[in-house]
Amino acid sequence: MTQNLADTTRLTASAATPAGEPRGWWRDAVIYQVYPRSFADANGDGMGDLPGVRSRLPYLRELGVDAVWLSPFYASPQADAGYDVADYRAVDPMFGSLLDADGLIRDAHALGLRIIVDLVPNHSSDQHEWFQRALREGPGSALRERYHFRPGKGETGELPPNDWESIFGGPAWTRTADPDGTPGDWYLHLFAPEQPDFNWDSPAVADEFRSILRFWLDMGVDGFRVDVAHGLVKAPGLPDLGTHDQLKLLGNDVMPFFDQDGVHEIYRAWRKILDEYPGERIAVAEAWTPTVERTANYVRPDELHQAFNFQYLGTAWDAAELRAVIDSSLAAMRPVDAPATWVLSNHDVTRHATRFANPPGGTQLRERGDRELGLRRARAATLLMLALPGSAYLYQGEELGLPDVTDLPDEVRQDPSFFRADGQDGFRDGCRVPLPWSGSTAPYGFGPTTGGPSWLPQPAEWAELSVEAQTGDPTSTLELYRSALAVRRERPELGAGREVEWLPSAPGVLAFRRGSFVCLANTTRQPVAYPTAGRLLLSSGEGVEPGLLAPDSTSWWAV
């Protein structure tokens, strides 16, 4: 499929939103996550960068997505791959400059693509000027109010102030040394010790983030992905959990440090700022909550626009479970009038081609599994997702059917949680391996052949998975994504609305209608008879026979 890259009507038409026109470009947008370190390396240092992303924007336009979400590219010591920000208004030199960011935003807009940037408000880097000054100035410094500094427990303050654990493993507290070198207060970090948590009760913190929002809105970005949106407010007094089984509670309960009701006031203030700008600037919450109903609180009409649907991401390739999560997601969003969102992969979880290659359970896998089965199901799962009402998120490389790299040697791993966690969350490098673009040897066009090795090694078998290798091959996963996104663009009923009309189906099969469109997904490993009618638009499986759904496949029909 070729598209006219000069056609900018997609953006200008909806950005202008003249009075009376339906608003809400984001309600059914397909948003593509770029992980800048691993997307494209323009300067050959082995690390992706903004000029690299910029040079590949035509590829994203041709793929057919509506918007690009960029993971953090700000000044950062990279203790957590950029989710430890030292300066929120600067681009890290390893990724380029503010001028590169400006050029990227302009080029994207000229191509009809919107740009969403990551915002990390729960914590900064320990190298952030505020935190460094707070340490230097010692107890009593006003800067300490901007973080959570506390004296320790025990006779000499040798024990952490409470029993909270870091999401990356180990205590959520690290003890500081006073300016004279003696052991001093502790500070809170829900993630790595290099990521101290901000104290959102401090007006200076709230003011600073309102200003950071404006800085990037003035740069022209179309929205923000809000990191750890559920974590900003902590329960008063930072009470103990009273258990050392924090892992069991996480995701199942409201915690004293997650999903506190106070966070919503922050988002109401942010929404006012977003609404001041033309063109419908949006924010999407990374909010891990116990239920989809609590997730819906983040997207009430005066708060953020979208929230990731992690319940969907965690669902097995199983018709009954999928139907249940689709129904509950749509039901939860209805009362708040927010679009449902759907996501299968991101930079924190095992890619869905590898998840579905393994028995269900867990999003941090080390097993390669049955690759063929995983890819078949991944393709089917993607077509199912793209037929649901609402907005869908894609993670770079899934359009190539990339699996996780499950055999990275320990010495090349860089995920901080690998070094701290007890198998809890430590295998995120496997989904972060740089993309293969072209050629038969590493770095497969990720960077110039004269450059250094990529920051994580790419497997030899990725030559076959490169963009170049898949382009023009009608059986390739890349062409499946291109076709699916083209159909979705031609038939707005796929993403529109809030309902699916379920059709009767055999166990293991999902069948639903949306206007003149029907989606059929067979989640079983056997062919299933189904009285298909109408015209086949697209299928994730090969050799579609009339009246028979191929194993682990999804097909789209015009009726």
Cα separation, 145 vs 141, in Å, equals 8
**C-beta of 66 vs 194, nearer to ligand NOJ:** 194
**C-beta of 41 vs 194, nearer to ligand NOJ:** 194
Residues involved in catalysis: 227, 286
Q: Which backbone phi and psi does 357 adopt, to 5 degrees?
A: -85, -5
Residues ≥6 apart with Cβ < 8 Å to 35? 48, 71, 347, 395, 396, 432
Angle (nearest 5°) at CA 89 between 83 and 94: 60
Alpha-carbon distance values, 429 to 38, 198, 291, 349, 367 (Å): 11, 27, 28, 9, 14
Q: Give residues in contact with ligand NOJ (CB under 6 A).
A: 80, 83, 120, 191, 227-228, 286, 347-348
Angle (nearest 5°) at CA 10 between 8 and 15: 100
Residues ≥6 apart with Cβ < 8 Å to 478? 399, 400, 401, 467, 470, 471
Q: Are 497 and 15 a contacting pair, CB within 8 Å?
A: no
Give the CA count within 13 Å in the CB-facing half-sphere of 395.
26
Q: Which residue has the tokens 């107890």?
A: 139
Both tokens of residue 88? Answer: 């929120």
**Of all helices (H) and strands (E), which one includes residue 210?**
helix 203-219
Q: Could you tell me the smallest distance in angstroms from the CB atom of residue 130 to ligand NOJ?
A: 17
Give the CA count within 13 Å in the CB-facing half-sphere of 150.
20
Q: Could you tell me the smallest distance in angstroms from the CB atom of residue 227 to ligand NOJ?
A: 5
Count the Cβ atoms, other than its own, within 10 Å of residue 231.
Answer: 25
CA–chain centroid gap for 85, Å, is 18
Burial class of residue 409 in the structure, from the number of CB atoms within 10 Å of its CB (0-12 exposed, 13-18 middle, 19+ buried): exposed
Angle (nearest 5°) at CA 344 between 338 and 349: 115
With H, G, I as helix, E, B as strand and everything else as coil, classify residue 184. strand
Cα separation, 198 vs 184, in Å, equals 19
**C-beta of 258 vs 530, nearer to ligand NOJ:** 258
Give the CA count within 13 Å in the CB-facing half-sphere of 25.
26
Of 529, 500, 285, the residue nearest 384 (C-alpha): 500
**C-beta of 120 vs 384, nearer to ligand NOJ:** 120
**C-beta of 70 vs 509, nearer to ligand NOJ:** 70
Instruction: Give the residue at shortest CB distance from ligand NOJ.
Output: 83
Q: Could you tell me the smallest distance in angstroms from the CB atom of residue 99 to ligand NOJ?
A: 26
Q: Could you tell me the smallest distance in angstroms from the CB atom of residue 539 to ligand NOJ?
A: 33
Q: Could you tell me the smallest distance in angstroms from the CB atom of residue 89 to ligand NOJ?
A: 18
**C-beta of 85 vs 500, nearer to ligand NOJ:** 85
Query: Pairing relation of β-strands 528-529 and 87-91?
Result: unpaired
